[in-house]
Amino acid sequence: MMAESVTNKLTDKLQLLLVEDDLDLATAVIDYLDLEDIQCDHAANGLAGLNLIETNRYDAVILDLNLPKMNGLHVCENLRAQGIDTPVLMLTARDTLDDKLTGFSKGADDYLIKPFAMEELIVRAQVLAKRRSGQVSRLSVSDLEIDLKQHQAYRANSPLKLSPTALKILEVLMRSSPNPVSRETIMQGVWGDDQPDSNSLKVHIFNLRKQVDAEQDNKLLHTIAGKGFAIKEQPEG
């Protein structure tokens, strides 16, 4: 019962991906997750795992370190370089500090040493699934990019002149792209509990739209009636 793709995007069930070449272990993990009502896709090598991560949206990825075709460290490095912020739980038989440090430097969010208890695997995965990874350094939608380390946004490789607040709003929107983000969620994400009046957000969105979409045929910042705002490409036609 190893699914090749996410079976149902419309449920609230946790969607995980397990990248593991030990098929006995993979089957045991997937069966246990199924008992907990958690849906899990499976890939038996690193390349197949990376392809699934690139084409589907998962709440978390459980990634073995030693994999055929592409090892776990290279998978992690590849997805972070693309700006994919899906949290990664790395599985390894090695219990050395060097391996952990290398994994974290490549973009892993947590570590679990084999053999492990299934209960601990689920708890770790659930904790990670509640947040996007902080390991990503670049976000991109179409030709719009944010370099999170340099705190700079670009459209078609041209730097945008954004205030720190506008940049934070853009980051919140791009992390949820293509899904809309409510005004309340943006306000909470940018200002926390110390929120200005709602007109302040209107002004920032107005200025952000001027910077992001001015003189561009492909508009990316959209107002979604009743739902808030979204960064996404317009559908063809």
pLDDT digits 0-9 by tens, 145-189: 888 778 889 998 899 998 888 988 998 898 888 888 888 888 888
Residue 25 has pLDDT above 90, yes or no: yes
Note the pLDDT of residue 101. Answer: 62
CATH homologous superfamily for 15-129?
Response regulator (3.40.50.2300)
Predicted confidence band of residue 2 (pLDDT cuts 50, 70, 90): very low
Question: Could you state, in order of their start, the residue ranges of all structural domains in the chain?
Answer: 15-129, 138-231
More confident residue, 66 or 137: 66
The topology under which CATH files domain 138-231 is: Arc Repressor Mutant, subunit A (1.10.10)
Report CA dihedral (119, 133, 25, 53) to the nearest 10 degrees. 140
pLDDT at site 18: 95
Question: Could you report the per-residue pLDDT of 56-101, keeping only the tens digit for each?
Answer: 888 899 999 889 999 988 998 888 877 787 888 988 876 655 666 6
Cβ atoms of 146 and 152 closer than 8 Å: yes
Contacts of 108 (CB under 8 A, 6+ apart): 63, 72, 76, 88, 89, 90, 135
